[in-house]
A and B are shown apart, each in its own frame.
Chain A
Amino acid sequence: MIYQNLLLTKISDFLNYNQQMLLTLIVTGIACSILGCFLVLNKLSMLTDALSHSILLGIVLAYFVTKDLNSPLLLIGAGIFGVFTVYAIGLLSKTRLVKNDDAVGIIFPLFFSLAVILISTFARNVHLDTDIVLMGQVIMIPLNNMTVFGVELPKALFYMLIILLINLIFVAVFFKELKVSSFDPEFATLAGFSSGLLFYGLMTLTSFTAVAAFDAVGAILVIALFVGPAASAYMLTKSLKKMLLVSIIFSMLNSTLGFYLAIVLNVSISGMIAVITGMTTFMTVLLNRQGIITAIYLRHKNRKEFRLDLLIMHLGNHEDQEDAEFELGFATIKDHLSWERETTERRLNRLIDQGFVQRNHEKKIFCLTEKGRLRYDMIKVDYGM
């Protein structure tokens, strides 16, 4: 016994409970977001909603077979059932009797309802709480430990690490194929590999990731983890590799921020991370390069720059002319630009600060510096004059 204890490395020696939870959340987030990128690109985001709800039926059915809530077979059964859900949705929309959205909308409430009925009639005495299914129990993560190769670590962390590894290998091996079929599925078929096979590969991994994640963090947060970071990354990047990287960064940020906020406020951890994920995505919508706030800022900035360009043009055009004294005179320049005295002075001062304009005290006019003259020539070229 003593020897065994010596050989056993406990993760709790290095990380306290909070750190173990956060580590598990971060690993879960990364595992979800790398698949999430392909889901967002392939317009499959709402399938995660369908999956995370219908998995419950898979768990219930698997429970009837295994009769053991802690069996890993439960997770495998649920994962297979998730793939079946996706297959059923695909089959239903292939009949063309309903649209794809309708197929999603009809299948998953049915499966979820069946699960609720089965739990309430046949499994009443079993601890299968529908609330926990939705909300998850992050707080329980460090209490469910297992020992692997002499290391004792939370069960959820171990499962998620394995899933993360499998997802990483899948994306690395099939990177080119995934890329092509995400952006051009027709070309993918022409190029000779089946995008259908790849699709089911992706969906199988998504399903198993969802099952493992859902066990730890609940159905609602699973959706956020899959779609949120990937959606943010999609708005910010133009290459798939960068998108994957940015989504991982977003995911880590969301998990960390949400986790500590939830701990400080003493509220639901899963809920808080979902809220933070929604907020970062919304901020990205507002602030990305095509975002609405960015657009307002750029318009404002452009207008400002255009006015300064106009001023340089005015100076450049009249500097060598005979009417320079009136057009550019300290006291009279404002009349020729028809601006207010204060605004004219402010804009001129700004150009003087930038080194484009100087005061010529002999002639009592404003004139361009060496740098300003270069800028004047550039503006002329830019505006095609």
Chain B
Amino acid sequence: MLSVYLNKIFSLNFANLLNAIGLDFEILSSYTFIVVCLGTMILATVAGMVGTITVLKGQSLIGDAIGHSSYPGIIIAFMIGMSLDSVSLMIGAIISGTLAFIIIQFIDKNSKLNLDAVLAVILSAFFGLGMVLKSFIQGHPIYGKVPQGGLSNYIFGQAAFIRTIDVQLILAVAIPSLLILFLFYKEFKIFVFDEVYAKSIGLSSTLMYVLLVLITMSVIATGLKLVGAILISSFLIVPGITALQWSNRFSHVLIIAAIVGSFSAFVGTYISSVYAGMSTGPCIIVVMSGLAFISMFISPKGLLANWLRRRKYLNDLSKSLID
């Protein structure tokens, strides 16, 4: 239905135009591409915005640990429900990711270990548990009968296989997450830049952390099917890092991160559709990281600007010395 409608609009003028700039109209108007592209773009937009807060808080590796840690939850949800239903697997992922987050916070508070050591241990222990459970159900007389091929998609992601229901699921998570972000925009801003001040004006940092973890966790859980447990952390942090190269204003950074995220998702999905065999998630990440590196180079705060500034300064200095 949707594709027919879009076909009608596009086929009039845009088809030739698109072909002229090198984009394949056939692919762009195909139903699969539209579904996959919508899914990845919405996900990347929300993940980019939510992840920016994590980056600003200096906790960018937590997303990586939680991404890995959600894997056993997926297998357990499969074992309980005996099906590959997206919603129940997502709930499993949220529960095990949250559990990992709580354990990480607990160890961080109650031991002299550094956060990164805690992250490394929890990440490998949880993912290891996922591996144990996966190998357990593989040859099992009861679980072995249910088809479980889809489970390994959650490690590396299989965006090409997502269906309309998955896009609806992403929307169902994206809209509330963005709403929370907008409703608590001021609170998040204060919380990010001055936690002590936030506390002094009576803003509960526990509440903010709970909100942040809640939306991060649900974004990670919905993203697993598209990009997988290993690479989901990039969706969270890379757009934020890119945006921080261009602006220092919180609102601008959020908007740039959203744009970078959705643009990379579009380009990445397109590339993976044109060239057979390329997985969508990794393609998007390569585009995203490329944008990040370009930004680091050419942005107003970037390497090139710094180099020019230094050169100009030296020139001026040598001139004034000669004069």
Residues on A facing B (Cβ under 8 Å): 40, 43-46, 48-49, 53, 95, 97-99, 101-102, 104-106, 109-110, 112-114, 116-117, 120-121, 124, 130-131, 134-135, 220-221, 223-224, 226-228, 230-231, 234-235, 262, 265-268, 270-275, 277-279, 281-282, 285, 288, 290-292
Select one of B126, B155, B277, B281 contacting A113, CB under 8 A. B281
Please tell me if the beta carbons of B156 and A109 are within 8 angstroms of each other in the complex.
Answer: no
- Asked if B128 contacts A45 (CB within 8 A), the reply is no
Are A130 and B156 CB-contacts (below 8 A) given A109-B289, A290-B111?
yes
Given the complex, which residues of A lie within 8 Å of B68, measured CB to CB?
220
Render B10-32 as a binary contact track against A, CB cut-off 8 A, 1 for contact: 00000000000000000000000
Measured between alpha carbons, how far is A48 from B116 in the docked complex, in Å? Answer: 10
Q: A98 CA to B244 CA in the complex, in Å?
A: 9
Give the number of A-B contacts (CB < 8 Å): 204
Q: A49-B120, A110-B286 are in contact. Are A282 and B107 (CB under 8 A)?
A: yes
Tell which of B114, B241, B277, B283 touches A98, judged by Cβ atoms closer than 8 Å.
B241
A90 to chain B, nearest CB (A): 15
Q: Is the CB of A121 within 8 A of B275?
A: yes
| Contact indicator B303/A275 (Cβ below 8 Å) | no
Determine how close the nearest CB of chain B comes to the CB of A159; give it in whole angstroms.
Answer: 21
Closest to B228 in A: A116
CB of B247 to closest CB in A, whole Å? 13
Answer whether A278 and B60 are a contact pair too, CB < 8 Å, given A97-B296, A109-B233. no
Q: 12 pairs across A/B with beta carbons < 8 Å?
A: A105-B234, A109-B289, A113-B285, A114-B282, A117-B282, A121-B278, A131-B152, A134-B127, A265-B136, A275-B125, A275-B132, A282-B103
Interface majority SS (helix, strand, loop, mixed), chain B: helix
Residue from the list A97, A117, A230, A265 in contact with B245, Cβ < 8 A: A97
CB contacts (< 8 Å) of B238 on chain A: these are 105-106, 109
Residue of A nearest to B118 (CB): A231
On chain B, the number of residues with a Cβ less than 8 Å from chain A's Cβ atoms is 64
Q: Which of B79-116 contact A (CB under 8 A)?
A: 103, 107, 110-114, 116
Contact A45 B110, CB 8 Å, known A116-B282, A134-B155, A221-B128: no
A290 in contact with B116 (CB, 8 Å): no
Are A234 and B279 touching (Cβ within 8 A)? Answer: no
Does B139 count as interface, using CB distance less than 8 angstroms? yes
CB of B59, distance to nearest CB on chain A (Å)? 8
Other-chain contact of A220, B124, B237, B285 (Cβ < 8 Å): B124
* Docked complex Cα distance between A267 and B130 (Å): 11
Identify A110's interface contact among B103, B136, B289, CB under 8 A: B289
Q: Which residues of A contact B61 (CB under 8 A)?
A: 46, 49, 101, 104-105
Interface centre among B125, B135, B244, B283 (most CB of A within 10 A): B125
**Chain B 35-65: CB-based contact to A (< 8 A → 1; otherwise 0):** 0000000000000000000010011110110
Residue contact A281 to B121, C-beta cutoff 8 Å: yes
Does B312 lie at the interface of the complex (its beta carbon under 8 Å from any beta carbon of A)? no
Q: How far is the CB of A36 from chain B (nearest CB, A)?
A: 9
B237 CB contact (under 8 Å) in A102, A134, A235, A267: A102
Contact assessment for B121 and A275 in the assembled complex, using a CB-CB cutoff below 8 Å? no
B301 CB–A CB distance under 8 Å: yes
In the complex where A109-B231, A120-B277, A271-B135 touch, is A131 in contact with B241 (Cβ < 8 A)?
Answer: no
- CB–CB A278/B125 < 8 A: yes
Interface: B34 (CB within 8 A): no
8 Å CB contact of A228 from B121, B244, B279: B121
| Inter-chain contacts of B281 with A (CB < 8 A) | 113
Q: Which residue of B lies closest to A117 (CB)?
A: B282
Q: What residues on B are CB-neighbors of A292 within 8 Å?
A: 110
B225 close to A (CB within 8 Å):
no
CB pair A235–B231 under 8 Å, yes or no, is no
Which residues of A are found within 8 Å of B127, using beta-carbon distances?
134, 220, 271, 274
B285: contacting residue among A110, A130, A266, A291, CB under 8 A: A110
Question: In this complex, what residue of B is CB-closest to A111?
Answer: B289
B250 to chain A, nearest CB (A): 17
**Closest residue on chain B to residue A278 by CB atoms:** B125
B107 with A272: CB separation less than 8 A: no
- The answer to whether the Cβ of B254 comes within 8 Å of any Cβ in the partner chain is no
